Amino acid sequence: MQPRQLLAITALLLSVAVPAQHCAPLYETWLSEVAVKHVDDHLKIHVQFAKEGGAGDKTAYQGYLIAYLDRDEAKVPAANGDLIDPKVALVLHTQVMRRNEKDGSPGPWTYDLDCTVKDQDLVEKLIELGKLGEKDREQTTNWHDFKDRIRLAVFVPFLDDPKYSVLEGLPADRHECNYEHARALVFQALPYRMQFRVSRSEATRASVWLMVRSDKPGDRKH
């Protein structure tokens, strides 16, 4: 067999054995910034999603801010393909996160999520979602102290996710090669557990007290 023929056969075998890479892989995806600021009766939340690799022309993603109770931590994200189980997790905010123009090629590329959440809305919705009642709280002076804690998480789906990447303003080309078969680009709990109280006083019956605490050993009640 001539060397040229041997080379052609070898190249053919390699092309069959090693599938061609369809698109650039995403080497890293992470939350590069996380900030929670308590201002009066609301939370100001800033999160930045970052990625290294993949297509640089993906100019936007859809981001989610999710709340749930500490006792349901094992169910978030959901075990099934839906990722968000509405029986235990509440979507507080979702938006299109556009790529920061200051980022230059080849990356990393960053995308910001910013929102404001009122303490009253957050507490009332989690009490309703968790069906929290007398057995779930303690009475201290003029307050009902709830035994559980509130958690927050950030979720960034792949662009081609038909259930969660749905807002207008996302790129027309939704394709990304998910070589690792991951369920999401990011689904990460933020490092806080929030204690909450509801007033027992007639004068302040609608008032709540939300206390943000950094996640640390011994902070869990369940």
Chain segment 24-68, per-residue pLDDT in tens: 888 899 999 999 999 989 999 999 999 998 877 678 999 999 999
Who wins on pLDDT, 61 or 2? 61
Average pLDDT, rounded, for the chain: 86
pLDDT at 18: 42
For residue 15, pLDDT beyond 60? no
For residue 219, name the pLDDT band (cuts at 50, 70, 90): low
Of 121, 73, 72, 132, nearest to 93 by C-alpha is 121
Nearest CA to 149 among 180, 170, 174, 127?
A: 127
CA 134/CA 144 separation, integer angstroms: 9
Render pLDDT for 140-168 as a digit per residue (tens, 0 to 9): 778 889 999 999 999 999 999 999 999 99
pLDDT for 81-105, tens place per residue?
899 999 999 999 999 999 998 887 7
Which residue has better confidence, 204 or 32?
32
The set of residues, in sequence order, having a beta carbon less than 8 Å from that of 98 and lying 6+ positions away, is 59, 60, 111, 112, 169
Residue 10 has pLDDT above 90, yes or no: no
Tokens of 143: 């307050």
6 has pLDDT over 70: no
Query: Nearest Cα to 149, choosing from 172, 124, 126, 117?
Result: 126
pTM, two decimal places: 0.85
Q: Which sequence spans correspond to the domains of the chain?
A: 22-214
The per-residue pLDDT for 47 is 98
b or e along 85-95 (b: 16 or more beta carbons within 10 Å of the residue's beta carbon)?
eeebbbebebb
Tell me how long the chain is: 222
